[in-house]
Chains A and B, each alone.
Chain A
């Protein structure tokens, strides 16, 4: 893409259009063809409906979830796509991590059903009034939802499976290579070293 092509008029227009209808929302242009909006939890469904029916974001590409464990919330990102304008719109909303619930939106896009099933299984987010098979990928899972960051995978693995001995002396790859080729490791990278 050439630099002449880099004016962001179309993206700015989306921001203006969103703000005109929803004055409470913050939106910004992320880069060419990508706009990002942060919305409160209560407002999210109406913003999604508006984006779909009025602004032409017909396709829901994905719903992803980020676990901000330090701030004690989940961030849901609804990724919408406008096939005419070729612009991607990210609608982000924060929900509390305790008893996480979110509005069910599979009446707006049917494919949301699948994503919501996944989030229910992997993060434990409940969607009241939502109908979908209980299990998505896992079978007979009775532990904490595994994609939550407070789920300790390593401890779980030690409990649940047999580990073949010989893994304990695993070397830090970066350190080993640096030592062998007498390379300097930059200061900032040292805190990631596994070598004590």
Chain B
């Protein structure tokens, strides 16, 4: 958290936090079956645009990476690339029990079980699959964290890159990507 010399949060950070939390652009990248809950959440039934969320087409323009379900090791590779290409500030919301502990794919040979070992996760939403209300409540949590300046997954990633890379390379054996993507 950014603080001044008296240990108090700087006013400018409060203002940026407020501004950031109210215009979140989300990368439209559905990974698992949970992505089917996103269309109702973003269209007229639940209409999350009224809270400032929008879907964005490219990682460079997005702030939030929503992992909507299980990740095959093949998909993980693409997710890592997308995540690293995103500009800071960036946040990860992981969605569904598959991202938490593997869910119903806990003994599958081709899906990862604990997402937070590969990329830093700011908010987990449980459920298989979470309803749009749950998704939105998770996003509200993220907003709160951003306002308080606590959503610092990207910083965690930067500082512990070696650990994350080690875990990533354990499952992605043929690493044909640049060492660092951003």
Question: Which residues of A approach B to under 8 Å, CB–CB?
Answer: 137-140, 142, 146, 151, 153-154, 156-157, 160-164, 166-167
Contacts and interface: CB of A to CB of B under 8 A. Distances in A.
Residues of B in contact with A, size category? 20 to 34
Given A138-B74, A161-B113, A162-B113, A167 B106 contact: yes
Contact of A164 (B110, B114, B171): B114
Interface of B: 73-74, 77, 100-102, 106-110, 112-114, 117, 167, 170-174
Given A139-B74, A140-B172, A142-B173, A163 B102 contact: yes
A164 B174 contact: no
B121 to A, nearest CB: 12
Residue among A142, A161, A167 having the largest count of chain B Cβ atoms under 10 Å: A161
Given A140-B174, A153-B107, A153-B108, A164 B73 contact: no
A166 B102 CA distance: 12
Contacts of A157: 106-109, 113
B101 A139 contact: no
Nearest to A140: B174
Nearest to B111: A161
Contact of A167 (B77, B101, B174): B101
18 contacts: A137-B74, A140-B172, A140-B173, A146-B109, A153-B107, A153-B108, A153-B109, A154-B107, A157-B107, A157-B113, A160-B109, A162-B112, A162-B167, A163-B102, A164-B100, A164-B114, A166-B101, A167-B101
A162 B76 CA distance: 14
A142 B110 CA distance: 12
B155 to A, nearest CB: 22
A140 B112 CA distance: 15
B92 to A, nearest CB: 17
B49 to A, nearest CB: 34
